Amino acid sequence: MAISEYNHYKTITKFMEADFLVLGNIFMSYVEEIIFGLEVEDISYFCFHLANDNYTKNCYSKLSYRIEKLLKQTDQKLYPNLFDGFSNLLIYLKEPIVRENDEQYRKENYEFWRKKVCLDPELIRSGSFRKYLL
pLDDT band at 2 (very low <50, low <70, confident <90, very high): confident
Residue-wise pLDDT for 64-119, tens only, equals 999 999 999 999 999 999 999 999 999 999 999 999 999 999 999 999 999 999 98
Whether the predicted pLDDT of 33 surpasses 90: yes
The predicted-structure confidence for 38-63, as pLDDT tens digits, reads as follows 999 999 999 999 999 999 999 999 99
pLDDT of residue 5: 87
Q: Taking the model in full, what pTM does it have?
A: 0.89
Buried b (16+ CB within 10 A) or exposed e, 95-124: bbeeeeeeeebeeebbebbeeebeeeeebe
